Amino acid sequence: MATEVTVPTLGESITEATLGEWLKQPGDAVAADEPIASLETDKVSVEVPAPVAGVMGEHAVKPGDTVAVGAMIATIEAGDGAAPAKKEAPAGETKGNADNSDEARTGEGKGPAEQIREREQDAPAGDTPAALSPSVRRAILEHGVDPATIKGTGKDGRITKDDVVAAAAKPAPSTSAPVEAAPVAASAPSGRKEERVRMTRLRQTIAKRLKEAQNTAAILTTFNDCDMTAVVEARAKYKDLFEKKHGVRLGFMGFFVKAACMALKDVPSVNASIEGEEIVYHDYADISVAVSAPGGLVVPVIRDADQMSVAEVEKTIGDFGKRAKDGTLKMEEMKGGTFTISNGGVFGSLMSTPIINPPQSGVLGLHRIEDRAVVVDGQIVIRPMMYLALSYDHRLVDGREAVTFLVALKNAIEDPTRILIDL
């Protein structure tokens, strides 16, 4: 008797998703609650667990297909699963296959995604090392390594994300003797290649929302710079004690989140939003923090950041960053938010004009810290400086308010004591 596998509930207002990939193939043995497929929603990837133990039946949909909540996507048959017998190659194909055996073994000419698919198709059913979790798949695609060359150190020989990172860090093996390249004919093609990859649902949603923001809001950006000397010195002085006590590294984001919360109290319109013909003012600060993930940028929310300490903010951001890379962020963690902070400085950005995250009316862009010559008390000195950028919805926030917000933020960063005494 077959048991149907249906699309689980994905969250409030989410009615459909895209099938990302099958983690189990027909004939594979599956355990109850074992992930058998991954779904891509507008915000995160969700694994579909097996409702019962048995043998994977036929797939009802293909990767890339859109499926509705509650729709059947596969079946699970009763049984333990058995390894399918390998097909013998026809006699006429033996020689041709032998000519390409080296390429088949090494995966030469194939991308990581194709190597992953071939690894699973060629592996016998129930071969646990071939069952790659979504986070491992993303790591393989990100680092561009061949999964066939990785020795798994996880349970039952499973490949872990650390195994992929370690394999990527190893230098490529060199051949014992150089091989002379065959001469290229004059009429041979240039060898340039193109690869077409379907946009993930997350990337499609990002593109759609960014364009909607430009079409709807009157976005304007104003700039300022701040002297990071005081924060850099405080971090250098207390980072070891901070990490020992709180179990998390002391970064710069904790200071900026707290400084932004103070500035939002001074300029409440930057923390407000437009709904129809009404302006909604918030007496709390839910700070959205832009975090880089393998599938694109995600923006989890620090709830009631204005009530948190710097340590609590740093712990929350660290947890978000780790789970964003693993693809385990929950959808409810990315809903809401009254103001956004995006730190392009970690990638080396000097200056940018960030786009607001509707219905929010403001986003703060942070950039890299670099030593610059500035004038202090009539003297030219070298100070670690950072450019700040505030993009805001000019329908709601006036230029005077935007500048006032940045000045308040700048004052708090240049004199962190203000954060402690709420000044």
The residues annotated as belonging to the active site are: 394, 398
CA distances from 206 to 43, 212, 305 (A): 9, 10, 25
Name 55's Cβ contacts closer than 8 Å, sequence gap at least 6: 27, 28, 29, 30, 76, 77, 78, 79, 80, 81, 82
3-state secondary structure of 374: strand
**Residue whose C-alpha is closest to residue 315's, from 331, 334, 296, 302:** 302
How many of the other CB atoms lie within 10 Å of CB of 283?
9
* Calpha distance 263→248 (Å, rounded): 26
* Calpha distance 365→310 (Å, rounded): 19
Amino acid identity of residue 169, one-letter, is A
SS3 letters across 264-292: HHHCHHHHCEEECCEEECCCCCCEEECEE
Token pair of 155 as six digits: 């349970």
Token pair of 411 as six digits: 């004052």
Q: How far apart are the first and last CA of the chain?
A: 69
Parallel, antiparallel or unpaired: strands 72-77 and 370-376: unpaired
Q: How many Cα atoms sit within 13 Å of 403 on the Cβ side?
A: 3
* Calpha distance 413→256 (Å, rounded): 7
Beta strand segments in 86-233, E: 219-227
* Calpha distance 11→69 (Å, rounded): 10
How many of the other CB atoms lie within 10 Å of CB of 115?
20
Residue carrying structure tokens 């909607």: 212
How many of the other CB atoms lie within 10 Å of CB of 202?
22
